Amino acid sequence: MPTTADVTISLSLRERMQSARNVLVLTGAGISAESGVPTFRGGGNTTIWKGMPFDVISSARMLQTNLPAVWEWFNYRRRLLAALKPNAGHLALARWHDRFDDFTLVTQNVDNLHQLGGSREVTELHGNIWRARCVECSTRYNLFENEVVGDFKEHEVDESDEELPPAPICEACGNSLRPDVVLFGELLPPGVFERATEKAQQCELCFVVGTSALVYPAASLPEIAAGAGAYIVEVNPERTPLSDLCDEVIMGKAGEVLPLL
C-alpha cells in the first residue's frame, strides 16, 4: 500500500485546488475505517451478529419483523463507535468548508465522524446512527445523550427464549422509534440525493474518497459531476470501478492524502 512518502500531488491538481470555487466531496467507508470503524463489507456472508449477516440484521424486513433485535444491533454498533475519533482525513475536509466558496460534503457513512471533526452541513445519504426517528410521525431524536433510549442496553441472549426489551417510544405520538439510518431494502431519505445531485452538477472539482464505488445511487454522483464537466479525483488505497472515469487517481489513505492537499 502506498505511504505518504509515495504520494505525489500533480501540479494540475494543485492549480485546480487554488482556483476552484465550487467543490464536492463524496466519502465512503474507507475514511472511517482509518478511525477503526468496521466496514462490514468484503466478507461475503460472514456471520457478524448472532448468526445473521449484517445485511440481514440491518434490513427493512428485520425492522418490520423484529424491531427490538434491530435496536440491540445498533446499540452494539454505537458502543463500538463511542470511543473512536475523527482522523486526519476528516479534519482536513472540515477545513475545506472555509477554503472554498461553495463546498459540499456528501457521505455514505452514518458514524457522525465528519461532524465530530468539525464539518458543517454534512449531506448524509444513509442517515446517522446517533439519531432515532418515529416510524409513524418521523420525529427525530438525538441519541448522543441517550435521553430517549434510556435503559435500552444490549441484551445478553442465551439459549433461553427470553425476550428482548421493547423498542423505545416516541414522546410525540407514542409509536415506536427506529434507528435513523437507511437499511437494506429502503430508499434514501426524500430530497437528500436530489440535493446532492444538484451540487454534483454544479461543482468544478469532485473528490471521491474511500468508497468502493459499488453502492448506488451514491456512486452515480461522480458520474453526474463528470457528465457536467467537473474534474474528478479519486483517493483510495486501491482502484475501484470508478477509477477509469476519474481524471486523477491518488492511491493512498484519506488520512495521508487529504492533508497534503
C-alpha cell at 214: 459499488
Determine whether 82 is exposed, middle or buried from the number of CB atoms within 10 Å of its CB (0-12, 13-18, 19+).
Answer: exposed
Is residue 97 annotated as part of the catalytic site, yes or no?
A: no
Q: Which amino acid is at 255?
A: G
Q: How many CA atoms lie within 13 A of 20 on its CB side?
A: 27
Which candidate, 204, 208, 202, 201, places its Cα nearest to that of 234?
208
Task: Please give the full DSSP string across 42-73, using - where no structure is assigned.
Answer: SSTT---BTTB-HHHHTBHHHHHH-HHHHHHH
Q: How many CA atoms lie within 13 A of 112 on its CB side?
A: 17
What does DSSP say about strands 123-124 and 102-107: parallel, antiparallel, or unpaired? parallel
Give the separation between CA 206 and CA 17, rounded to whole angstroms.
11
Q: How many residues are recorded in the chain?
A: 261
77 DSSP β-pair partners: none
Q: Coil, strand, or helix at residue 28?
A: coil
- Which residue of the set 90, 97, 114, 126 is catalytic? 126
Q: Which amino acid is at 105?
A: L
Question: DSSP secondary-structure letter at 214?
Answer: -
Which candidate, 250, 210, 240, places its Cα nearest to that of 4?
250
Catalytic residues: 126
